[in-house]
Amino acid sequence: MGFNGKMIRKKDLTIWQKAYIPEIFKGLRLTISQIFKPKFTYQYPEERFKPEPSFRGRPVLVQENGVERCVACGLCSRVCPALAIEVQASETELEKERYPIVFEINMVRCIFCGFCEEVCPEEAIVMSSEYELVFTSQEEAVFGKDKLLKSTEELKDRLEFLRQHR
């Protein structure tokens, strides 16, 4: 007789609840009322989910005035728990003196944790709102600078969000 809960329940229930049928009709009313409520489904290819700025989509490099902000310090590559980022530095005539000649993120390895964004001293790598990532091969999944660079206008929402919450 290890059913302790059973004893307590029997005391709690009123005679109407024990009769069970009225309770079923209460449940039916709830179920039927749900039929007419608005649905949560997105009709995906036609209607897409628009993420909030707090959403962590694929990481991108911020491009300001046609140049990336990145100074190739390699901190993101260091902090990345999945070892997805590869940076190779080189020198430049610009004020920042260093820039990444190669910057690759392997999107198969990326786990969207956002550590690279957190650790970046220049706010040069941020998480965008893009979530549709489809590849047909391993090579295609390695995103180079051509795919990673995004202008500040495109990333305005996310940069604004970071400034407020950091």
Residues at the contact surface with other proteins, assessed by CB under 8 A: 21, 24, 27-28, 30-32, 34-35, 37-41, 43
- List, in sequence order, every residue forming a beta bridge with 88; answer none if it has no partner: 102
Closest approach of Cβ 15 to other proteins, in Å?
Answer: 14
Closest approach of Cβ 125 to other proteins, in Å?
Answer: 37
Task: For other proteins, give the closer residue by CB, 44 or 65.
Answer: 44
Contact 125, 64 (CB under 8 A): no
Burial class (CB within 10 angstroms; exposed 0-12, middle 13-18, buried 19+) of 132? exposed
Task: For other proteins, give the closer residue by CB, 14 or 25.
Answer: 25
| Separation between Cα atoms, residue 106 and residue 77, nearest integer Å | 11
Task: For other proteins, give the closer residue by CB, 41 or 65.
Answer: 41
| Separation between Cα atoms, residue 13 and residue 31, nearest integer Å | 22
Task: For other proteins, give the closer residue by CB, 10 or 37.
Answer: 37
Residue type, 114: G
Task: For other proteins, give the closer residue by CB, 22 or 81.
Answer: 22
Residue with tokens 């039927």: 32
Closest approach of Cβ 37 to other proteins, in Å?
Answer: 6
Closest approach of Cβ 21 to other proteins, in Å?
Answer: 7
Contact 51, 57 (CB under 8 A): yes
- List, in sequence order, every residue forming a beta bridge with 66; answer none if it has no partner: none
Closest approach of Cβ 86 to other proteins, in Å?
Answer: 42
